[in-house]
Amino acid sequence: MTTPAKAGPAPATPVTTPAPERLPLYREMRRVRTFEERVGELFVRGESAGSMLHLSIGEEGAAVGVGTTMRDGDTFTTHHRGHGIFLARGADPRRMMAEIGGKETGYCHGKGGSMHIADMSLGHLGANAIVGGGIPAVVGAGLVARRRRSGAVSLAFFGDGAMQQGILYESMNMAALWDLPVVFVCVNNQWGMGTRIDQATKATALHERAAAFGLRAETVDGVDVLAVRAAAERIVGAAREGRPGFLAIDCYRFFGHARKDKSPYRTEEEEAEGRRRDPVSRARDELLAEGVAEEELDTLDREVATEMDAAIDYAIASAEPQLDSMFRDVFAPDQPEPEPVRTRIDRVLARD
């Protein structure tokens, strides 16, 4: 039986990590930022599948800070804004962009789109468009990891909107009760659709709720990728030893809930203040202050831009899935495929 750890904010992390070690973190955050910008461009060009694209711009510190602490064999689920998390775990941006475009070359052959990308080979158990819907899957994955003694950890990424979902509390209770290698990661971007966090709950110290269930719990400032990584190393490391945890990462959602949402519920002053909390700009400024040449960072930024330009070109050039593939990977291979509605209608009309 484990003893509940004291909850509280993560201790401040001074900038002591040498620049060569921090440069890869900046590169990954820049990749996430640029990928999301290209996703927005894909939408504007009318090449995305569906109209609901949720960008994680402003949350790069959370994705990279936690993602870089995970190992091969670890599993995770994501939420509406899971592009950056998946990219930080090693996803191919071309296949990601193709999936968002609904193309055959995507991770799910165009069936998943933006909010249902999955890849078991990278431990991605799936994104989920249901608020909090992916959370209980990590409890099952954690139970499997414990029984197999694999040393793997399963992480659930979700937004602050999911903090009001009952399934989260059931999952946290079970993970704590069974000492599962599970971590709950709340990316608190302050807004659940059009509702600010303090208008959704009186108790905004989210980590305190998790501590009440017996989880190790911390809150960390998502603008500082080093602080996020340090907190994640503590929480994930403890989870590997059977002490499940919870990490709340405070950040700010730069844009509206979805790509076409102009966020009229927020003032211009609030958005300007929030966007000053930019994890990518902060990381770049710190590298410059430590003597990294601006030309080196500019070259890195151009390389990332070229990579993501190629991803959007790849997605647009890829073919759409054939109609007869709609049931592939949906039903078991030995099960007969259902008859498409269009085929059934044609068959019925042919009787006349």
170 close to 197: Cβ distance less than 8 angstroms: no
Span 24-46, average pLDDT: 96
Query: Distance between CA 168 and CA 115 in Å, rounded?
Result: 19
The distance from CA 77 to its chain's CA centroid, rounded to whole angstroms, is 8
Give the number of other Cβ atoms within 10 Å of residue 285's Cβ. 11
Compute the average pLDDT of residues 11-18. Answer: 56
Whether 331 and 340 have beta carbons less than 8 Å apart is answered as: no
pLDDT of residue 13: 47
Q: How high is the pLDDT of residue 11?
A: 47
Cα angle 236, 240, 246; round to 5: 40
Is the distance from CB of 307 to CB of 37 less than 8 angstroms? no
Which tokens go with 86? 């998946």
Question: Rounded to 5 degrees, what are φ and ψ at 245?
Answer: -145, 175
6 pLDDT band, cuts 50/70/90, is: very low
pTM, entire model: 0.89
CB-based contact 200:263 (threshold 8 Å): no
Asked if residues 23 and 49 have their Cβ atoms less than 8 Å apart, the reply is no
Parallel, antiparallel or unpaired: strands 216-221 and 8-9:
parallel
| 40-93 residue pLDDT tens | 999 999 999 876 789 999 999 999 999 999 999 999 999 999 999 999 999 999
Q: Over the stretch 262-284, which tens digit does the pLDDT of each residue have?
A: 889 999 999 999 999 999 999 99
pLDDT at 229: 97
Q: Has residue 250 got a pLDDT over 70?
A: yes
Distances (CA, A) of 202 to 163, 169, 196, 209: 12, 17, 11, 12
Indicate if the pLDDT at residue 174 is higher than 70.
yes
Q: Which amino acid is at 267?
A: T
For residue 82, give the amino acid letter: G
**Alpha carbon distances (Å) from 324 to 105, 183, 239, 296, 342:** 16, 40, 44, 49, 11
Average pLDDT, the chain: 91
Domains of the chain, with CATH numbers?
8-351 (3.40.50.970)
